[in-house]
Structure 1
Amino acid sequence: MNLSRTRLVAVAGVLAATAALASACGSASDDAATAATPPSGSSAVKGGGGTLRIALIGTTGPVAAAKNDGSLAKDLAKVGAKVQFTGQFPAFAPAAEAINAGALDAAQGSISSAIGALAQKPSFKVFAAQLDNASSEGILVKDPNIKTVADLVGKKVAVNPKGTGEYLLLKALQKNGVDPSKVRRVYLGAADGATAFSSGKVDAWAAWADFVATAKARGARLVADGAQVGSENDTTYSISNSFLKAHPATVKAFYDNIRAHSLAEHSDPQAAVAKENVGAIKLDDKAAAILAENYKTQAPVAPIDDNFRKRFGDVAQFFADQKVIPSGLDPATFTVDPETLK
């Protein structure tokens, strides 16, 4: 099974991938929203303004909460800005392509996916992050005969290229002394990976977050999670270089909003999931309960600091050592502290 994804992703391609995600996790829809008219005088805020076009990735998380309760539209209006949620993306990679094409301003995704995209075109900066929630990611299997990572030798494992899936698999193989050439990587986007795994076309799937919660709710298990493989795959929030330059105060308002929602996820996980898990694409009750448990240990959204930069550098160097990208990337070139934006 030798499948590849077209590098340049158009909107039609994104919607097609989302349809595949729907077959594994529920039904799908493309829902966009724009903020109300900013209050009088707010457009004069220095560094504010603009219409922030944000990707919805997955079905839950701070961005989904910010959309569902209308708070981001209100917060951005205070600095003279509007928000547009551009629709459902199956993963960060196609969102990064949209940022590269000038069709999108902001998206969330793992640092591994961000590094994979930055290695191709440095068109955005990471302005916030959440420490890796290692219990919510890893290598999923259903076959009872696959008990250890070593049992993946000769097997087919679905991974999204230059992203979380490939990172987790390669980390697991390295940690367990398994030659990567002995395990067949099947390169699939997240939605297609879900379909291939549920249909048995692959033996394992390297996945994360909502995907793991859904698969575990349907009987899959993690043969190795992020903690067991030494993952540093932090969740990151990215903004296009052009929007950051033109509207830094708007980016700061966006950061403040998603940080507040991430704190709510930790303090009251069940309520957070109930707020986020609405719309056409929904986790079932069992998967939602698993997600709520994960939120109990999920760190909040935080500013980029030296600790994050070190972790980002580690992931970039690992990808370079594994020949996934040509060379390591210097985190100083693609990060910004949101607390300094105004």
Structure 2
Amino acid sequence: MTIISNKRRLLLQGLAATAAAGTLPAFAAEERTLRIGYQKFNTLNILKGSGNLEKALQPLGWKAKWFEFAAGPQLTEALNGDAIDFGHAADTPSAFANAAGVNAVYLAAEQPYPKGIGIFVAQDSPIRTVQDLNGKKIALGRGWNVQYLLVRALEEVGLNYGDIVPVYVTNAADVRATFQSGNVDAATLWDPYLAGQQISTSPRILRDGTGLSNNRTFHLANPGFVDRNKLIIRTLFAELKKTNAWAQSHPQETAELLAPQLSVDAKVLRLATERRNYTTVPVDASIVAEQQQIVEAFYKLGLIKTQVQVKDKVYAEVLL
């Protein structure tokens, strides 16, 4: 018993000395860290750039750690693997995550952003309409918001997904490279990549999301983390609300703030900023219905295997 006590005393003394030196082990420092996943050009980007969340968390004994992801599917995979606690993804990646059983719940949604997604062709392409895409190769990614736009746009003109040849890639850079190589007839992108493509090559936009897809972004989190840390999530949303209000009334300044952070030209961000609305809202029944439509569309195509009920994936308590 004396030996155990001595060992315990020595361990505690060692930890105390380490703490005094400011070099506590990494596992102790991570215990009160909010791990946030984000993608280029979103309200979370603006919050990250402001530093205001860190200031709000500090009195609570917490800090924020930020992780950038290329697209929604990679971010939701990180949520499922407990690599992050909170993050955002577009409507379609979120629906695919629901169907795949990803351990994440909807906490909030952003306003519709239909002009931030598009199907496009080269300026000199003979393809003039979506109907002309019949039998053509189109660059896109599995489970992307623009994949849903393509499905709906084809349906609108009497075509179906089987009438085109999807050329699947893994990220926006691959879309641009594939499109510019001439190996596909058309491509799909979302902002800020769509805005970047418009500025760099002036493609012809065949269809954006207007009337077909609201292209919402959703804020998602591990439900267990939320259950244990509601104050932290409420603090995050309180700061996000302030950031959104500022961004909505300062579009040019928003673009200039994000440009160095994202390594994206400010004029690209200005174009993207002009066509979006920075507001975060609770996930209500109408938004759930939108998401359910996405699940049903891809289930019908056999691209989603589980006809999940989106309403079961919404966190029970509003934390905004």
Normalising by the smaller structure, the TM-score range is 0.7 to 0.9
Pick aligned residue for 1:110 from 90, 95, 107: 90
- The offset of 1:78, in angstroms, is 3.8
User: Is 1:334 the counterpart of 2:313 in the alignment?
Assistant: yes
| 1:193 match: secondary structure | helix
Deviation at 1:92, TM superposition (A): 1.0
Corresponding residue of 1:266: 248
CA RMSD of aligned residues (A): 2.1
What is the alpha-carbon distance in structure 2 between the residues aligned to residue 62 and residue 338 of structure 1? 22
**Partner SS state of residue 315, structure 2:** coil
Matched, 1:324 2:295: no
Matched, 1:51 2:33: yes
2:26 maps to which residue? none
The answer to whether the aligner puts 1:277 opposite 2:277 as a matched pair is no
Contact 2:237 2:319 in 1 (8 A): no
- Bigger share in helix: 2
- Deviation of 1:82 (Å): 1.5
Residue correspondence of structure 1 range 1-342 to structure 2 within 5 A:
50-58=32-40, 60-86=41-67, 88-142=68-122, 143-191=124-172, 192-218=174-200, 219-228=202-211, 230-279=212-261, 281-295=262-276, 298-336=277-315, 339-340=318-319
2:138–2:184 CA contact under 8 A, matched in 1: yes
In 2 relative to 1, CA 271–171 (structure 1 residues): closer, same or farther, beyond 3 Å? same
- What SS does the aligned partner of 1:263 have? helix
Q: Does the 8 Å contact 2:107/2:318 carry over to 1?
A: no
Deviation string for 1:66-98 (max 9, x for gaps)? Answer: 111111111222433221012x21101111111
The number of equivalent residue pairs is 288
Mapped contact 2:76–2:102 kept (Cα < 8 A):
no
> Is 1:255–1:338's contact at 8 Å kept on the other side of the alignment?
no
Secondary structure, aligned partner of 2:60? coil
Cα distance in 2, alignment partners of residues 264 and 71 from structure 1: 12
Indicate conservation of the 8 Å contact 2:118/2:205, yes or no: yes
| 5+ residue gaps, structure 1 | 1-36, 38-48
Give the whole-Å Cα distance in 1 for the aligned partners of 2:263 and 2:50.
Answer: 16
TM-score when scaled to structure 1? 0.78
Distance 1:194 1:50, change over 3 A: farther
In 1, distance between residues paired with 2:77 and 2:96? Answer: 11
After TM superposition, give the deviation of residue 200 of structure 1 in Å: 2.5
What is the TM-score with the length of structure 2 in the denominator?
0.83
State the alpha-carbon separation in 2 of the partners of residues 299 and 89 from structure 1: 21
SS of the residue corresponding to residue 140 of structure 1 reads: strand
Query: Which amino acid in structure 2 is aligned with residue 186 of structure 1?
Result: V
Q: Distance in 2 between matches of 1:188 and 1:338?
A: 37
CA distance, structure 2, for counterparts of residue 338 and residue 50 of structure 1: 23
Q: Distance between the aligned counterparts of 1:252 and 1:99, measured in 2?
A: 19
Structure number with larger C-alpha Rg: 2
Query: 3-state SS of the aligned residue for 1:139?
Result: strand
What is the letter of the counterpart of residue 47 of structure 2?
A: A
Structure 1 residue 300, shift from structure 2 partner: 0.8
Q: 1:9: which partner in 2?
A: none
**Conserved 8 A contact 1:92-1:107:** no
Mean Cα displacement is larger for which, 120-129 or 312-321? 312-321
Which stretch shows the higher mean deviation, 187-196 or 96-105? 187-196
The unaligned stretches of length 5 or more in structure 2 are 1-21, 23-30
Q: Any idea what SS the aligned residue of 1:277 has?
A: helix
The answer to whether the 8 A contact 1:62-1:259 is kept is: no
Q: Which amino acid aligns with 1:199?
A: S
- Matches of 2:217 and 2:316, distance apart in 1: 15
Tell me the amino acid that sits aligned with residue 174 of structure 1: E
Deviation at 1:216, TM superposition (A): 0.7
* Structure 2 CA distance for aligned equivalents of residues 177 and 224 of structure 1: 15
